[in-house]
Amino acid sequence: MKTIPAKTILSGYSDGWFGTNYNMNIYKGCCHGCIYCDSRSSCYRITDFDTVRAKAGALDILEDELRTKRQKGVIGSGAMSDFYNPFEKDCRLTRGTLQLIARYGYGVVIDTKSDLVLRDIDILQSIQRNAPAYINFTITTADDVLCSKIERNVCPSSRRFRAMKILSEAGIEGGILIMPILPFINDTAENILAIIEQAHEAHAKYIYPAFGVTLRQNQREYFFDRLDDQFPGMKQQYLQYFGDSYSCGSPRDKELRRLLKTECEKRGILWRMKDISRYIRRNYDREQISLF
């Protein structure tokens, strides 16, 4: 695997997203090939986005940062590059990162589309003794066939649901990110309900949605090329409905949000970010206060 130079690994993160204090990416780029990924946009300045590269010296840099931070906290990862890309199976950089997080008493919230996370149950359990350890699986469709069209190089949705259930049975909780939900493709009540039902069966504690997709810079061209390939005629439908808008919200947004709220509350699944963040940090904040 190629590497790129890095000076830092952790960055501050204080907007309350899943209760995290820091953000971390040890890889750059992603080979999942998801047709909707906003991280491909030019504003992020990631050249050769579809090529995964590791950050050189990531573990040494991270250890220095974890050791010298004045305040411990919960680290989020996976927003720009999946913590569990296919190369991780051999290079084990993520596993080394989790070992450091456990050693220095930090928490972690991981966003992923891979069931390779099951390999690291032992370390996640170790982190959990002192801090939160949560796994967020992105699942945009309950249909494995549709999944293969919009998320080409990742394990099917059914395997992600299965991984969540195995993690839950091992004491590692988490939830589902149903984002983005693509207008005219997977923004149906049937799809959202199927995801909620399977998430409940897999013991998901929360579900957080985004009923729409963002299109900007070169990501727009990439997305439309994939639509032409996988969904003939769909590009024209997008252009007629959204024009050149950056934010392409589902026309069914209100209907789907009502459905999500009703069905999640019926099953005891959280769906508001403030409630999700509070749940993730419920014991951790009490423990941090007791230290002082």
What is the pTM (predicted TM-score) of this model? 0.94
pLDDT of residue 286: 63
Q: Torsion angle, CA of 9/13/18/24, rounded to 10 degrees?
A: -10
pLDDT at 15 over 90: no
Q: Could you give the CA distance from residue 103 to residue 126 in angstroms, rounded to a whole number?
A: 9
Read off φ and ψ for residue 148, nearest 5 degrees: -65, -20
Instruction: Give the pairing of strands 212-214 and 3-4.
Output: unpaired
pLDDT at 28 over 80: yes
User: Which residues, listed in sequence order, are joined to residue 111 by a DSSP beta bridge?
Assistant: 136
**pLDDT > 70 in the chain, percent:** 97
pLDDT at 137 over 70: yes
pLDDT of residue 227: 97
Arithmetic mean of pLDDT, 47-76: 95
Arithmetic mean of pLDDT, 276-287: 87
CB 237 within 8 Å of CB 184: yes
Q: Could you give the CA distance from residue 263 to residue 158 in angstroms, rounded to a whole number?
A: 20
pLDDT of residue 47: 85
pLDDT of residue 283: 87
Q: Encoding tokens for residue 222?
A: 């990439």
pLDDT at 173 over 70: yes
Arithmetic mean of pLDDT, 270-292: 81
pLDDT of residue 46: 86
pLDDT of residue 44: 85
User: pLDDT digits over 184-199, tens only?
Assistant: 999 999 999 999 999 9
Arithmetic mean of pLDDT, 136-162: 97
